[in-house]
Every structure is written in structure tokens, then in C-alpha cells.
Amino acid sequence: MEVLIMYTIEHARALDQKDMLSHFRDEFYIKEGTIYLDGNSLGLLSKRAEATVQQLLISWKDYGIEGWMNGSSPWFYLSESLGAKMATLIRAKENEVIVTGSTTVNLHQLLATFYQPIGKKNKIIADELTFPSDIYAIKSQLKGKGLSPEEHLIRIKSRDGYTLQEDDIIQAMTDDVSLIILSSVLYRSGQLLDMKRLVEAAHEKGILIGFDLAHSIGVIPHSFADIKPDFAFWCSYKYVNGGPGAVGGLYVNERHFGIEPGIAGWFSSVKEKQFDMKHDLEYEHHAGAFQIGTPHILSLAPIIGSLELFEEAGIQVLHEKSKLQTDFFMSLIEQELDSYQFTIINPREDERRGGHVCLHHEEAASICKALKAYHVIPDYREPNLIRLAPIAFYTSFEEVWNVVQIMKEIMEKEVYKKFKNEREVIA
């Protein structure tokens, strides 16, 4: 692709001067001399998150069991209060979101609740590019109902091995489909699906549809008030910066309030009756019904501080910077690395792209290792893909410029040849 503008480091510095979010960088712990581009796998620790972990530890120390109802963040209502705050990231109603579980546990809950095969309407649509854990959960639920994954799971084929066509998904919405599970942003290529179009098509055919938001929440300002999917689920340790193993979240559209949770537990209960200790569950008529067990309070703690930063910055402003940074990244790659066989995999259009840049290269694994030797933290994914995620909270435009120059040096000097072109245990 022809580059019309020759970008320089001065251009990057000018963008940093205009950056309304630059002061948030001081809120995060960034290892000196390191450029961190893996926030789409694990976001960095913020000082706010550290502080709220300390606050909840102190509440445990000061209150003991009384911490369930006392202190600045009473534990008994913490999942609901955080759900109300996280709802702003997807423009949903406060009671449609609950912070609970993990991505896969929440998917199991939603499948157990909403996948109710009746007669020939018994198939689930997913896709061949989705994160494997989602497929594992779907297959497990099918087997639990005595159904065959080979027969009842439809996986949409990719035309290029990296992206999906909405037309192909809609064409597969036949009369025998009961439920659809898709990712909002594909975890490898970073493609952002047209969720509204897919929801409208599914609902026209009487099919329920839900989305895995793991690679979009915290970077894409979804508007579920307009999109109206039936449900969604996500993790909080990527763009939300909630920490390793942070509690995830789920959304259920209010039209489904009152449906019995497929996997019930004592935190599914109406709060005021939870300690009645009756053996007949009276479950909540909002997203809180889809909780199962006792909240992991210390894994909820960092999310409190992290969401304070989102409230101050604004998800729309974060998204605008993310789009500008990923576009700048791709322009620099085309300008500086054109002769080194890198292929940009993710869509170029802003409305079709998530928060990371995805590059294909036959030596991707060894290039990632070389980048780490230069104190740049990327992410490698099979097959032969490099993911680079500038995070609006803490990545500067000058860092983006520097990374591309480092990649150029790695290729010019063939530094990558010093490393085996195979992934580590954790990619």
C-alpha cells in the first residue's frame, strides 16, 4: 500500500502533546525501559487498583465478617455495585450487568440458561476462529444434553483464515438454529464484528444471540441499548486492567429478567431472602440471578480502582485514542517495514477493528522473542501472528514509533535468527 505521508518521530511527539489522556500514564506501574504492548492479554497494574486492594484487605482486617455489610465497599453488594459501573462501558442498564465468575464459567451459565433445544431447533452457531475455551464450553453443554457436537455445533468457516464475513454467519441462521455465540472482536485478527446487524438478523429468525466481549470491553464503547443482544460475557484482566484472574462479568438483556438461571447457587438469590436458608431458591429478576457462589472479594477489589479510571477518562475518549494509535501503528509498519514480509491481518477500517494490531510473519515467534530482548513486550499467537496492543491509558505515540524502529533493526540485522521460531509454553 502506498504511503502518502512520511511520518517522523516529531509527528509522534506532536500527537503526544495533543493527547488528552497522557496524564493517566502516571496512574500505572510501567517497568522503566520497557514498552508494554500486551495489555490485550493482561493490563498493567494501576495505583488505583493497588489502593482498592489495600482498602478491602483493611476492611477484612478491621471488620472481619462484618465487612459483608460495612466499610466503603460492603462485600455483599459489591458484584452489583461494580456491575452498575461496568454497565457504562457497554451502555447497558445498571441491573443488566453483574460482575461475577470468569469468562468460561459465565458462558457455561448462559448456555445452561438460554440453550433450550426444542424439536429440530437444536443447533448452536459459533465460528472456527473463536477462542478455544468457548468451543470447549459449548461442546460440554451439548454433551450434557445428550447431543452430539459434531451434529449440533455449526462453526462458521473463515474465507481467509483470519476474519469472518457477516453474510456467511447470517446465511447459516437456518430454522434448526437455537442459539448463536460469537466474539465481538476476534482474539487473533482483531476484527470487530457488526454486532447490531447480526443481532437483528438472528432475532428476525427467532434465534437467541450472545457475544464474548473479552477483546472489546474497555476499548470499544458498545451500545447495548441499541444493539440489544440477548446476553454477553467477558473477562476483566485485559483492557479493564483488573489483574490476573480478575472476576469477569456478564450482561443479560432485561427482556429475559425472570428466567431461571441454568446453574443456580445461593448468590442467585434475592438478596433479602438469601439467608432464609430455604431449599427452594427465589432468584433475582435481574442480572444478579446469574451469580452462582460467594464472590471472590479480593479478586473484585482491583476492579473498583480500575473502573474509577474509566469513569474519569471516558470510554469514548479512550476508544478515539485507541483508533488513532492503531492506525498510526499500521501506517508506520507500512512505511518502515514494507520490505520485510509483514502482513497486516486486522481490518484497516476503524469500525471493523478492535484495540490491537495483528501482523503475520513466518518468523513471528522468533521476532517476538527478539522484541522482548529489546524490552518490548508483544504477544504471539498461532499461526505466525504478532499482536501489538497500544493501550490508551498508558502507551505513548512515541513508544509506537520506537517499537517500529526496533522491529526494523531486528529485521535489518536479522536479530530474530538468534531465537527459535517456536512459541513458549505461554504464548
- The annotated binding site for pyridoxal 5'-phosphate is made up of 103-104, 131-134, 212, 215, 237, 266, 294
Q: Which three cell numbers stand for residue 413?
A: 540485522
Look at strands 177-183 and 357-360 and give their pairing. Answer: unpaired
Residues 344 and 407 sit within 8 Å (Cβ to Cβ)? no
Closest-CA residue to 35 (of 411, 371, 381): 371
Annotated binding site: 103-104, 131-134, 212, 215, 237, 266, 294
